[in-house]
Amino acid sequence: MIANPMKVLVIDDDMPIRKLLRTGLATQGYQILDAGNGKTALERLAQDPALIILDLSLPDIQGHDLIEIIRARNTSVPIVVVSSRDDEASKIRALDLGADDYVVKPFGMDELFARLRAALRHHLQAHGERSVFRSGGLSVDLVRRMVKIGDSHIKLSPKEYELLRVLVQHAGKVLTHRFLLEELWGELTDAQYLRVYVRQLRRKIEPDPERPHFILTEVGIGYRLRQAD
């Protein structure tokens, strides 16, 4: 499986809303899948979105029915309803059918992002995963996609972040060159690509890149990230 940015499926028949969400979510580092109707949305599920934003007013399948169909196929993916319907009955029914949150249009982007992060945190916690990884002075927020050393924010390229994310998700385990190459590039490419990104990542997060504390080399095998505190 290729390690891509977290996918968010936006289901809304209003093109301007989809464009707004696409632009806003892209600034947060998400990969956007979108659908203007229920049929397309169900096709997009095959791409394994990490989170779904759903409008209830769709031209072919009613939003409440779509929640029920999605939940029959995927019991865990977080669903955040974003709808102009503000009546209590619509909210209760959506939540009872399996939606994780309900946001009424018009909405503020900052509030929506906060709701999405909360839904993702709850999902990670429900599956026994930490939303924030900490080891020594290193902190990796898997929801916000933020990396810090102490109080300093570290800016990573998309590929550097994906490498770190894979290491975090398997912290303490030795990951072979083969595994990492397939995760990051989807194929067995030249291992030199991996070495280059490991070297770049170490320069940004290690106190002494020549004597790494976080990303440890297992000679002839691969790499291991020091376990969380």
Amino acid at 40: T
Task: Establish if 22 belongs to a structural domain.
Answer: yes
Report long-range pairs for 140-149 (Cβ below 8 Å, ≥24 apart).
Answer: 140/164, 140/165, 140/168, 142/168, 142/169, 143/117, 144/28, 144/117, 145/5, 145/6, 145/28, 145/29, 147/205, 149/205
The domain boundary, picked from 126, 146, 175, lies at 126
Which helix or strand (DSSP H or E) is residue 153 part of?
Answer: strand 152-153
Which segment, 34-43, 132-141, 220-229, is predicted with the most confidence on average? 34-43
Q: In the predicted model, is pLDDT for residue 39 greater than 50?
A: yes
Token output for 144: 């916000």
User: What distance, in Å, lies between the first and last C-alpha atoms of the chain?
Assistant: 28
pLDDT score, position 117: 85
pLDDT score, position 206: 94
The domain boundary, picked from 66, 93, 126, lies at 126
The pTM for the full model equals 0.63
Task: Establish if 1 belongs to a structural domain.
Answer: no
Q: Of residues 4 and 75, which shows the higher confidence score?
A: 75
The domain boundary, picked from 103, 126, 149, lies at 126
Q: Do 145 and 106 lie in a common domain?
A: no
Q: Do 26 and 120 lie in a common domain?
A: yes
Q: Do 95 and 68 lie in a common domain?
A: yes
Q: Domain of residue 65: give its range.
A: 7-126
